[in-house]
Structure 1
Amino acid sequence: MACYDRYRNGIIPGRTGGKWYEQDGNGANYLCLPETPVYDTVEDNVQSYRGFVYSAEYSTSEFPPLSSVHDHDVPCAVCEVNRGKILMIPATNICPSGWIREYYGYLMSEYYNRGSPTEFVCVDRNPDVVPGTGDNRQGVHLCPVEGRCDYDRGSLPCGPYVNGAELSCVVCSK
């Protein structure tokens, strides 16, 4: 599998985008946006009844392994594989027997108590950043995800899961 981003390989110039961090509406998924958009028909000013897209930034100040990327914008990556199946597995960094590990890192999503949900994504343990960024602009966040096993409803089983431990993830191909 080969992953290309603007800052490594120059194949697909882009950045990650999504909703504003406190909005209840808009889409829930992260987007891979081109650095140079191409517009069709547009209105001249901001409209009331529209969805909005903002840049994504890492929100990792309280997670030492990734604190150096905190508030930096997130480049997007497009990955290509000649194998037919790709699988992201949360809460492990090991692929099943017969699968090839492409990369591993940390499970991330928007902060649990902000606006509408986002998808869970696997971010490489050595993430890239968009150069020249680092200011907190309150776009959609990518925050480490912790497992919860100390609540009455919907809890993971304590023992195998550690309450409050950041979950790893792995991307495998076959």
Structure 2
Amino acid sequence: MYFANLTIVLATVILVVYSHECKYYDLSDSDQSLVDMMKHYLHTLRKGECSTKNKTLNTGVTYIRWGRKSCPKGVDLVYTGQVGGTYYSYRGGGVNYLCLPNDPENGQHQSFDNDQIHGGEYQLTSTMKPSGWSESMDNKEVPCSVCYQKQKSAVLMIPGRKTCFKGWNSEYNGYLMSGHKGHYKRDYACVDKNAEPLDNKNGEESGALFYPLRTKCSNLRCPPYTNEADVLCVVCTK
């Protein structure tokens, strides 16, 4: 409030001084002091605004786009890679999928028995696949990409929707996938609706597996959900 009042006072003084009918005069020491104070105040104010703007420009969030080698248009690609994780039948190890870069810096060879990082594969059949997907994706390795969205401060994966809520921006949408219910627990991952294979290699080597999911109405309220339906998902930023 003080600075606002000061601004009004100084602006009034400067206006009076420079609008005076006499065009040829020298500013007194007190006049010049007021002008200098005004300049200093405006410089400080603008500097603060500039600092805030720069902080906004330097913010951003990262997310993993499962099933794709690239990021959405306008989003920076940090790196592209392939999915890795613990073998589906191992009781121990991590439950999360990993996005392993295609240009790793490998450690030294080891002989101990704790191999946990395997590749990831799609597990599909003619009767168990997301709508619109081809069965030919079965046993193909899963690609991934790490994406950086500038000027955002939050990222959220919403299960059960293909669009974001008001005020959020959609990065991509797809199908919720995870391990099979008969295997050991695995994270849920939002796999892009236009998922692709890592390459043309084909062969069942298992590893960290991706199965499509469906809903089951019991204590899951139907409506609003429907029974035995694809579980959609969307990744949103704000």
Alignment coverage as a number of residue pairs: 166
TM superposition shift of 1:161: 1.6
Matched, 1:70 2:134: no
For residues 103 and 167 of structure 2, what CA distance do their matches in structure 1 show?
40
Q: Which has the larger radius of gyration?
A: 2
For residues 166 and 39 of structure 1, what CA distance do their matches in structure 2 show?
38
User: Partner residue of 2:178?
Assistant: 109
Matched, 1:21 2:85: no
Name the SS of the counterpart of 1:81 in structure 2: strand
User: Partner residue of 1:124?
Assistant: 192
TM superposition shift of 1:35: 2.5
TM superposition shift of 1:72: 0.8
Name the SS of the counterpart of 1:65 in structure 2: coil
Matched, 1:168 2:237: no
Higher relative contact order (CA closer than 8 Å, sequence separation 6+): 1
Alignment of 1:20-169 (within 5 A): 20-43=87-110, 45=111, 47-48=112-113, 50-61=114-125, 62-63=128-129, 64-66=131-133, 67-82=135-150, 83-115=152-184, 117-150=185-218, 155-169=219-233
Q: In the alignment, is the contact (CA less than 8 A) between 2:64 and 2:147 conserved in 1? A: yes
RMSD: 2.5
Structure 1, residues 104-137: CA drift from partner, whole Å, max 9, x if none?
A: 110011111112x111111110002111222111
Q: In the alignment, is the contact (CA less than 8 A) between 1:6 and 1:12 conserved in 2? A: no
Q: In the alignment, is the contact (CA less than 8 A) between 1:26 and 1:51 conserved in 2? A: no
Q: Aligned pair in 2 of structure 1 residues 41, 86: CA closer, same or farther (>3 Å)?
A: same
Name the SS of the counterpart of 2:132 in structure 1: helix
For residues 213 and 223 of structure 2, what CA distance do their matches in structure 1 show?
18
Q: Aligned pair in 2 of structure 1 residues 171, 7: CA closer, same or farther (>3 Å)?
A: closer
Q: TM-score, normalised by structure 2?
A: 0.63
Q: In the alignment, is the contact (CA less than 8 A) between 2:68 and 2:195 conserved in 1? A: no
Task: Give, as a single letter, the amino acid of the residue that structure 2 aligns with 1:88.
Answer: M
For residues 98 and 78 of structure 2, what CA distance do their matches in structure 1 show?
17
Query: Which ranges of structure 1 fall in alignment gaps of 5 or more residues?
Result: none
For residues 133 and 86 of structure 1, what CA distance do their matches in structure 2 show?
33
Q: In the alignment, is the contact (CA less than 8 A) between 1:3 and 1:80 conserved in 2? A: no
**Identical aligned pairs, as a percentage?**
33
Task: Give, as a single letter, the amino acid of the residue that structure 2 aligns with 1:166.
Answer: D
Query: Which ranges of structure 2 fall in alignment gaps of 5 or more residues?
Result: 1-61, 72-76
Q: In the alignment, is the contact (CA less than 8 A) between 1:104 and 1:124 conserved in 2? A: yes
Name the SS of the counterpart of 1:102 in structure 2: strand
Q: In the alignment, is the contact (CA less than 8 A) between 1:14 and 1:32 conserved in 2? A: yes
Higher helix share: 2
Task: Give, as a single letter, the amino acid of the residue that structure 2 aligns with 1:109.
Answer: S
For residues 94 and 37 of structure 1, what CA distance do their matches in structure 2 show?
35
Q: Aligned pair in 2 of structure 1 residues 3, 90: CA closer, same or farther (>3 Å)?
A: closer
TM superposition shift of 1:2: 9.5
